[in-house]
Amino acid sequence: MPDFDSRARDLMEQLPEDSDVTHEEIVDLYEKCYGFKITGNDLDNIVQRKLAKQTGAEVSTGAQGGDQHYEITDLGANHDEEWISLTGQVLTIWDDVPDGIAQKGRIGDDTGTIEFSLFEKSLQSNPSLEVQEGKSYRFESVVGDYYDERIRVRINSRSSIEEVDRSFSPPESDVIGLLGVIVDVVPPSGLIKRCADPDCSYVLDDGECPDHGVVGDHEFDLRIKAILDDGEEYHRVVFPLEQTESLTDISLADARRLAEQEYDHTVVEQKVGDRVLGRHVEIHGRELDNYIVVNEAAEYSLRQTESEATIENSAEQLIEQLQSVGRSA
């Protein structure tokens, strides 16, 4: 259960001294609402409206900036539905967000990273809540949101967000190693144009940057977004320039030449697709939001890993197992 005690204390301080509302009454009211599964803003609104009616005093939780300031690594299940503040850098804002959500992405400080979301409704009532990728902010009065065994934060209409002039370097997540087949290449892959603004590296969509609109200037990049599938599970992976070049034998210069010849930069997507689709690759990378960013990639080769005799041996073992499976029982 959230820390209603501190919220009640917070509210008590704002009430006129002669009011006869007690700390316990406020906590009880919170707990009662919570029992109805009411959470977040709704919960505070009910309590505040009730207090206002009883005492005539305008009170509110959260927005006074009195929430405890946390480092991201310290946030956990016990901060569900808690008002918190934190300072961090917006690492990514995702392209695909569900209906009703204005922004969703990841914030990092020097201790860790956390997913955030901002609802359309909140943004409409407070347009200053919009954040930009790469910038750092002090987030006041955001609400913890714990589900699927992960803590996230919700920016809400009562939050306040102030840009701060510093950057953060979140600890890197563990290296993940995977072996699978590239079964799909996801657009935009191949030769892509990125916004030339040094603080922005968005991929341009038809010459348009999601942040800067139509931009005259761009930088070329080569990458592959792909689905790596091992027959039992799949992962979204992205091969940056260097790994794309080594996997496809197509350099950025080749790609640009090809695009110029054909007057079309999407031919490169087709070309890299032809080179990698159906290939077994072994990758090492780090998880970043929707994707695993590949640091190392090599085409998987049974023959390089194992001697001819070992391969035959594995085949014979499989045959034996297939012959005996279910028959001993």
Among the listed residues 234, 215, 216, the one whose alpha carbon sits nearest the alpha carbon of residue 226: 234
- Taking the C-alpha atoms of residue 106 and residue 232, their distance in angstroms, rounded to an integer, is 28
Q: Which residues of 198-212 are buried (b: 16+ CB within 10 A; e: fewer)?
A: eebebbbeeeebeee
Residue 151 exposed, middle or buried by CB count within 10 Å (0-12, 13-18, 19+): buried
Q: With CB under 8 A as the contact rule, which of the stretches 7-15, 106-114, 129-137, 290-298 interacts with another protein? A: 290-298
Other Cβ atoms within 10 Å of 152 Cβ, number? 20
The smaller minimum CB distance to another protein, of residues 138 and 275, is found at 275
- Taking the C-alpha atoms of residue 325 and residue 112, their distance in angstroms, rounded to an integer, is 47
Q: Rule CB under 8 A: say whether 307 interacts with another protein.
A: no
Q: Rule CB under 8 A: say whether 175 interacts with another protein.
A: no
Q: With CB under 8 A as the contact rule, which of the stretches 31-39, 179-187, 247-255, 258-266 interacts with another protein? A: 179-187
CB of 56: closest distance to another protein in angstroms? Answer: 47
Other Cβ atoms within 10 Å of 258 Cβ, number? 18
The smaller minimum CB distance to another protein, of residues 29 and 118, is found at 118
- Taking the C-alpha atoms of residue 144 and residue 107, their distance in angstroms, rounded to an integer, is 13
Residues 216-235 that bind another protein (CB under 8 A): 227, 229-235
CB of 109: closest distance to another protein in angstroms? Answer: 22
Continuous segment of H or E residues that includes residue 282: strand 280-288
CB of 313: closest distance to another protein in angstroms? Answer: 9
- Taking the C-alpha atoms of residue 122 and residue 158, their distance in angstroms, rounded to an integer, is 8
- Taking the C-alpha atoms of residue 255 and residue 93, their distance in angstroms, rounded to an integer, is 28
Amino acid at 328: S
The smaller minimum CB distance to another protein, of residues 24 and 299, is found at 299
The smaller minimum CB distance to another protein, of residues 144 and 285, is found at 285
Among 127, 213, 216, 278, binds another protein (CB under 8 A): 278
CB of 130: closest distance to another protein in angstroms? Answer: 22
Q: Rule CB under 8 A: say whether 42 interacts with another protein.
A: no
Q: With CB under 8 A as the contact rule, which of the stretches 31-39, 129-137, 203-211, 274-282 interacts with another protein? A: 274-282
* Phi, psi at 147, each rounded to 5°: -150, 165
- DSSP designation for 253: H
CB of 171: closest distance to another protein in angstroms? Answer: 20
The smaller minimum CB distance to another protein, of residues 38 and 176, is found at 176
DSSP 171-196: PPPPEEEEEEEEEEEEEEEEEEEEE-
Residues 83-112 that bind another protein (CB under 8 A): 96
What does the angle CA 276 – CA 281 – CA 286 come to, to the nearest 5 degrees?
A: 110
CB of 59: closest distance to another protein in angstroms? Answer: 38
Q: Rule CB under 8 A: say whether 238 interacts with another protein.
A: no
Q: Rule CB under 8 A: say whether 52 interacts with another protein.
A: no
The smaller minimum CB distance to another protein, of residues 219 and 230, is found at 230
CB of 224: closest distance to another protein in angstroms? Answer: 14
Among the listed residues 299, 252, 305, the one whose alpha carbon sits nearest the alpha carbon of residue 278: 299
Among 253, 274, 307, 310, binds another protein (CB under 8 A): 274
Among the listed residues 130, 36, 145, 23, the one whose alpha carbon sits nearest the alpha carbon of residue 84: 145
Contact positions toward another protein, by CB under 8 A?
96, 181, 183-184, 227, 229-236, 270, 273-274, 277-280, 287, 289-292, 300-303, 311-312, 314-316, 318-319, 321-323, 325-326, 329
